[in-house]
Amino acid sequence: MSRTVDFADGGEAADLAAFLVRLLHYDRGAAVRLQAAGTALAVFGRPPSFEVLAIRTARLATPYAHGTEDALDITVSAGELLESIDEAAGTARIPEAVTGPPWAGVLPPRGGWQPEPGLPSAAAVRTMVAQAVADFRARTEGLATGDRSRAVLDRIGREVWSRPLGDSDLPVRAAHAAQALGFLPGAPATAEVPLALLASGTWLRLRTPFGSVAVRRVGAGSLTVTPA
């Protein structure tokens, strides 16, 4: 008997499908780790272009159950999960497990999150992301053909995307990822989106009503993890 989940409504299914489409845009072979307990389903993914952990949650109509199981923790193909979602019915079939990438075994802690100061407004965050995109494009397009090596492009990328957002320790690449994955909508809606910056151990988490991205603090010497 295959595992299935029943979403609270078709909108939950559609929102998860949209997240998977965006994730697959950056990695056609993406895997996601699923955790379900009670009426909450959490989907974790890692778009390689951004080096962040993306977290999308969905509400279930009934507490997860499969035979004697009352919780789910599995890594699956993002593409197969997307294909299994029936938006009209508000259901999804859980694909067979795959060998997960290394990141899937190291998740942020489930609890202990506390507000972290220094994050600008949503509109200001979006402006900073736009400035970083423009700066990266200008610096890379201005390179001579012979200078456009992977090492040079990576160095420019690190310099641009590691800039802090406002007075926080959150790098701009986290907000760029949130925007690319649909967690930070475009203007004028951006100004109305409540953002929160949270910290737990060595992790920082940018939370929006549409999803979260998590990163480790730069230079953190230790890592608080959720075991695989």
Lowest-confidence range among 53-62, 164-173, 179-188? 179-188
pTM value is: 0.89
Q: Which residues pair with 72 in a beta bridge?
A: 36
| CB of 111 closer than 8 Å to CB of 103 | no
Q: Which domain holds residue 155?
A: 114-216
Tell me if residue 87 falls in helix, strand or coil. coil
Q: What is the H or E stretch that residue 211 is in?
A: strand 211-216
Residue with tokens 């949130």: 178
pLDDT value of residue 76: 97
Q: How many domains does the chain have?
A: 2
Read off the CATH number of the domain in which 65 is found. 3.10.150
- Pair 85, 122 in one domain: no
Is 59 within the bounds of a domain?
yes
Mean pLDDT of 66-77: 94
Q: Which residues pair with 203 in a beta bridge?
A: 200, 216
Mean pLDDT of 183-209: 87
Cα-Cα-Cα-Cα dihedral of 67, 92, 75, 80, to 10°? 130
Is 85 within the bounds of a domain?
yes
- Pair 93, 151 in one domain: no
Is 227 within the bounds of a domain?
no
- Pair 67, 144 in one domain: no
Where a domain ends, among 84, 105, 126?
105
Mean pLDDT of 44-54: 93
pLDDT value of residue 49: 84
pLDDT value of residue 1: 64
Residue 15: C-alpha distances to residues 19, 170, 188 (Å): 6, 26, 21
Beta strands in 19-122 (DSSP E): 31-37, 40-45, 53-59, 71-77, 85-86, 91-93, 114-115
Is 75 within the bounds of a domain?
yes
- Pair 149, 132 in one domain: yes
Residue 79: C-alpha distances to residues 15, 30, 44, 119 (Å): 15, 7, 14, 34
pLDDT value of residue 222: 36
* pLDDT tens digits, one per residue of 77-131: 999 999 999 999 999 999 999 998 999 999 999 899 999 999 999 999 999 999 9
Closest C-alpha among 169, 191, 193 to residue 116 = 169
- Pair 41, 73 in one domain: yes
Where a domain ends, among 105, 131, 166?
105
- Pair 75, 158 in one domain: no
Mean pLDDT of 150-173: 93
What is the phi/psi pair of residue 128, to 5°? -65, -40
pLDDT tops 50 at residue 159: yes
- How far apart, in whole angstroms, are the C-alpha atoms of residue 182 and residue 163? 21
Is 228 within the bounds of a domain?
no
DSSP state of 169: S
- Pair 33, 99 in one domain: yes
